[in-house]
Structure 1
Amino acid sequence: MTSACRGPQAKTTAMPVTTILGSPEGLCRLLQLLSTCVAFSLVASVNAYGGFSGDWCMFAWCFCFAVTFIIIVVELGGLQARFPLSWPNFPIIYAYYATLFCFSASIIYPTTYVQFLGHGRTRGHAIAATVFSCIACVAYATEVSLTRGKITGYMATVPGLLKVVETVVACIIFVFISDPYLYKYKPALEWCVAVYAICFILAAVAILLNLFDFTNALPIPLPSFLSGLALLSVLFYASAMVLWPLYQFHQRYGGIPERRRDSLCTISHVHYVCAWDRRLAVAILTAINLLAYVADLVYSAHPGFV
């Protein structure tokens, strides 16, 4: 971002509450605040978030509620100039993340948790929380559509959006591989985990450079830097796309080719997702992220995309 973008920011003063909260973006944020608050409150009131999948969904709702609240307070108080990040970019980047966080929670929570609950108050609260999670997802997506055309720079481009997708998918992968037994003592699978971590860090660095307006500090032009990151990530993820399924599902390499051969998958438990299902989820998410990185590389290589 140029210094011209910071000029108006330094003169920002507190605006009337009706001006901020009465705008379409303000109404979206109020709906986001309400829906995420209701979602995690319903789940917390009946303690229906045990296990890694429940913990991830609870984190997503609490995180989205907290950051949305901070954004509202900053704008109501006219504190944008004191905010440590580039304010023109921060709300839209956060809206990207919140959309994907709530979307993932709206899928993961009912499929890995709610369906195993018995009928009763706990299940009713969990279903209601899923509904409010979907409402939050729609509210955040609406904010993205309303504000995306109001910012400029890298995060307003398709590669900028893809960077957000790449980091969120990587976070979900980390959730599914949270138990080391899925990859421990197998160098090929440990390499895959390293790939997920390295590529996540690279994508996060690209986002943070833009958020903190540090792109001019790079020793090479920004497009070249981003294209290099995308190419490296494509090569890394391509290796993981081969090695993860091969060593997890091919019997010759110690994998389990069929779900029915995993005895733990026959047990339906609300707090547990069996190892075979986790391995399959990671394989699918790896393919999704590989496609995202390929698209990122194609767009980044296009002249003048920033």
Structure 2
Amino acid sequence: MVTLDLKTLTSTLGITRILELISNCICFSVMASVGLHDFSIWIWFLFTWSFSFCTTFLILILELFGLNQQLPFSWNDFTAAYSIGATLMVFATSVIMTVGFVKFDYAKFFATTFFSYFSFGLYLNEVNLIRKKSEEISAFLSTIPGFLKIIEAFVASIIFICLSLSPYPYYPELKWCVSVYSIGFIFDMFFIIVIICRLESWLPVLSDKVVLVFNVMGTVAYMIAVILWPVFGFKHITTEGCSTFAFCPWKMVIVITSMTCVNFVINIVNLVYSVRKQFFSQT
């Protein structure tokens, strides 16, 4: 039965989400008017704000009419995972806007950057409100390994965005690194979806031993990628043109190298937690 719950819109969380809709709409509208249609970073910007707007709007509608209670998955896990992901996406977008476009001294870029940071603050507040409100957040999102899985998937998505300006098509070693990023991202998303949909009892893939094996493989793969990417990524790459353009291949290689190191550290931390849980949890 559909019931109208107006408290969804008047609560602190509801007002926060309404402000998120307004801020994301402003960012999307202003940036779309710039018209950098063939720019992959520009596409990422529009995707971030449009995806955040549509998902937040959908969450508001479902909760307003009480339809979220009829969905066959954990609504609290879903909203918690989404708010964390949206916070990371909007924050990365804000930082890229600041670093890449502020030098152009263009009023639209300044306005978009301001509202993007405003959206980041709103989503950060949403994360805090959801974790205080919910009593059904699963162990996955309440532990450091689960939280790091979300961050790892997000970092991999940043790498994918930067690949269009990188030299990876010219070196098989870099293509191998891309396969590491892709496979890791797929497994991270798989684990997140399994947890949100509460399929742990149906799928034995989340047993401690299986997770340990995946963490070992991920750590070793990223350790190799940390070595290969900078060695071959900076090969024949110069800083020419970087002073003129907001982004250039040299900057993209730096970003990808940095993000590879971040995910390598995340895999190490997850591996440490898996080893402790598997071998020392009962001691």
Q: What is the TM-score of this pair, normalised by structure 2?
A: 0.89
- Is 2:139 aligned against 1:153? yes
Whole-Å Cα distance in 2 between the matches of residues 89 and 20 of structure 1? 18
Q: Which one-letter code corresponds to 2:249 in the other structure?
A: A
Whole-Å Cα distance in 2 between the matches of residues 263 and 16 of structure 1? 58
Identity within the alignment, %: 33
Tell me which residue corresponds to 2:5: 16
Q: Do 1:53 and 1:109's aligned partners in 2 also have CA atoms closer than 8 Å?
A: no
Deviation at 1:288, TM superposition (A): 0.9
Q: Which one-letter code corresponds to 2:32 in the other structure?
A: A
Whole-Å Cα distance in 1 between the matches of residues 171 and 38 of structure 2? 29
Whole-Å Cα distance in 1 between the matches of residues 242 and 64 of structure 2? 51
- Is 2:77 aligned against 1:101? no
Deviation at 1:303, TM superposition (A): 2.7
- Is 2:269 aligned against 1:295? yes
Tell me which residue corresponds to 2:162: 176
Q: 1:1-306 counterparts in 2 under 5 A?
A: 14-17=3-6, 19-47=7-35, 51-115=39-103, 117=104, 119=105, 123-149=106-132, 150=134, 151-179=137-165, 182-219=167-204, 222-249=207-234, 254-256=235-237, 261-266=238-243, 268-270=244-246, 273-303=247-277
Q: Which one-letter code corresponds to 2:274 in the other structure?
A: S
Q: Which one-letter code corresponds to 1:76 in the other structure?
A: L
Deviation at 1:145, TM superposition (A): 1.4
Deviations 1:50-87 (A, max 9, x none): 51112111111111011000000000011113435421
Q: Do 2:23 and 2:115's aligned partners in 1 also have CA atoms closer than 8 Å?
A: yes
Deviation at 1:242, TM superposition (A): 0.7
Moved more, 95-104 or 182-191: 182-191
Pick closer, same or farther for the CA change 1:163–1:34 going to 2, 3 Å: same
Tell me which residue corresponds to 1:5: none
Pick closer, same or farther for the CA change 1:26–1:223 going to 2, 3 Å: farther
Q: Do 1:192 and 1:243's aligned partners in 2 also have CA atoms closer than 8 Å?
A: yes
Whole-Å Cα distance in 2 between the matches of residues 220 and 52 of structure 1? 35
Whole-Å Cα distance in 1 between the matches of residues 20 and 253 of structure 2? 33
Moved more, 200-209 or 211-220: 211-220
Deviation at 1:15, TM superposition (A): 4.5
Pick closer, same or farther for the CA change 1:128–1:204 going to 2, 3 Å: same
Q: Secondary structure at the match of 1:269?
A: coil
Tell me which residue corresponds to 1:6: none
Tell me which residue corresponds to 1:3: none
Deviations 1:280-303 (A, max 9, x none): 111011111111121222233333
Whole-Å Cα distance in 1 between the matches of residues 80 and 10 of structure 2? 18
Moved more, 64-73 or 51-60: 51-60
Q: Do 1:54 and 1:109's aligned partners in 2 also have CA atoms closer than 8 Å?
A: no
Structure 2 unpaired stretches of 5+: none
Q: Secondary structure at the match of 2:55?
A: helix
Deviation at 1:30, TM superposition (A): 1.3
Deviation at 1:183, TM superposition (A): 1.3
Deviations 1:101-154 (A, max 9, x none): 000000112322342x3x5xxx21221111111111111111111222422331
Q: What is the TM-score of this pair, normalised by structure 1?
A: 0.83
Deviation at 1:13, TM superposition (A): 5.3
Supply the RMSD in Å over aligned alpha carbons.
2.1
Moved more, 64-73 or 54-63: 54-63
The count of residues paired between Structure 1 and Structure 2 equals 276
Deviations 1:162-205 (A, max 9, x none): 111001110010011124x6112422111111111111111111
Q: Do 2:205 and 2:211's aligned partners in 1 also have CA atoms closer than 8 Å?
A: no
Q: Secondary structure at the match of 2:35?
A: coil
Q: Do 1:237 and 1:286's aligned partners in 2 also have CA atoms closer than 8 Å?
A: yes
Deviation at 1:16, TM superposition (A): 2.5
Whole-Å Cα distance in 1 between the matches of residues 139 and 3 of structure 2? 26
Q: Do 2:5 and 2:63's aligned partners in 1 also have CA atoms closer than 8 Å?
A: no
Pick closer, same or farther for the CA change 1:13–1:161 going to 2, 3 Å: farther
Q: Which one-letter code corresponds to 1:173 in the other structure?
A: I
Structure 1 unpaired stretches of 5+: 1-11
